Amino acid sequence: MYIDFRDERRALLFDLGDIASLPPRKLMRLSHVFVTHAHMDHFAGFDHLLRVVLGRKSEVVLFGGPEFIAQVEHKLRAYSWNVVQRYEVELTLHVHEIGSDGRRRLTRFSSRTGFTRTALEVFEFPDDVLHEETIFRVRGRFVDHGIPCLAYLIEEKARVKVDKDRLLALGLGTGSWLRELKQAIVTAAPDETPILMHWRDRQGEHAMTRTVGELRHLVLDVVPGQRIGYVTDLRYTESNVHTLAQLLTDVDLLFIESVFLAEDAAQAAKKNHLTAQQAGQIARGVRAKALVPFHFSPRYEGRETALIAQALTSWSGAASSTG
């Protein structure tokens, strides 16, 4: 799942499997990558990402579950780095490991030192917030997939709607200043707070400074932000269902694995995966407003629509019975 930020040259990525379909310019935008677990189909894209950003990007933050720091380190140690310290742009990987013991470990790997790791920082974290910024936060909880696997929720704090017509009428262009204005509105910054406006259009570069008070009329509305769930690789168990209810209740959009058809439920259980029907039941249970089934077993190649239909029927069918 790739989440692009409007008005910002940045994005988030959830899982790092086959990312060949993402062009380098999209990978260059990644600020944070959230890995659910280190099965190959969720982590084999690490090398590809590293190759694209090396020498061009200064940092990437990665999150993963138990053993994640060692897993990243093993990947880095698999290469020879005798010239990398000469690259003009230093790349630092900030690696967060979420333990199942309620502790987090953070270490950094820098290209300047041939990716040897820095001293480990260990800290407790009391709730499920893994990452927090002014405009959004990411939560994560462990589900059981035979191994611990992270289910994620991205939570936009508030959505500031800007009147694009008014913007154009004033001859203003969009740029990162819009993000600053939105952040100022969300954090209730005082009217005299200056916003350095900068944008580029066919006429060239433009820059000016206005205060939040002067720009406030561009804002149409402030509404509750969107919540998007990303859930993949888990068994259908009571405890997993309970964990997901705590994380995802009333989620706006839910990406959820639908690996097997219900008729192959025994196979799904054996492989620690959900059936499409179970995925739909979970989505219904958390009152997901929209559903995107994914992660289909290759055995259904050409029959993916059957998996999607089963997940959607199981989600919406029961939704209508509850009114």
Site residues for Zn ion per CB under 5 A = 39, 41, 233
Strands 129-132 and 219-224, by their bridges, are unpaired
| Least distance from Zn ion to the Cβ atom of residue 299, Å | 14
What is the widest separation between alpha-carbon atoms in the chain?
64
What CA–CA distances, in Å, run from 75 to 8, 67, 87, 107? 30, 13, 20, 15
Residue 41 or 252 with smaller CB distance to Zn ion: 41
| Least distance from Zn ion to the Cβ atom of residue 205, Å | 46
| Least distance from Zn ion to the Cβ atom of residue 98, Å | 16
What is the residue whose two structure tokens read 């149409």? 220
β-bridge mates for residue 14, sequence order:
34
CA distance 251 to 266: 29
| Least distance from Zn ion to the Cβ atom of residue 274, Å | 11
Residue 71 or 110 with smaller CB distance to Zn ion: 71
CA distance 140 to 149: 10
Q: How many CB atoms sit inside 10 A of residue 189's CB?
A: 17
Residue 42 or 182 with smaller CB distance to Zn ion: 42
Q: How many CB atoms sit inside 10 A of residue 78's CB?
A: 8
Residue 41 or 163 with smaller CB distance to Zn ion: 41
| Least distance from Zn ion to the Cβ atom of residue 230, Å | 12
| Least distance from Zn ion to the Cβ atom of residue 63, Å | 17
DSSP 149-175: EEEEEEEE-EEEEE-HHHHHHTT---S
Residue 10 or 39 with smaller CB distance to Zn ion: 39
Task: Report which residue's Cβ sits closest to Zn ion.
Answer: 39
| Least distance from Zn ion to the Cβ atom of residue 22, Å | 18
Residue 39 or 77 with smaller CB distance to Zn ion: 39
CA distance 3 to 157: 15
What is the dihedral sign for C-alpha 44, 47, 52, 58? positive
Contact 146, 33 (CB under 8 A): no
Tokens describing residue 30:
């990644």
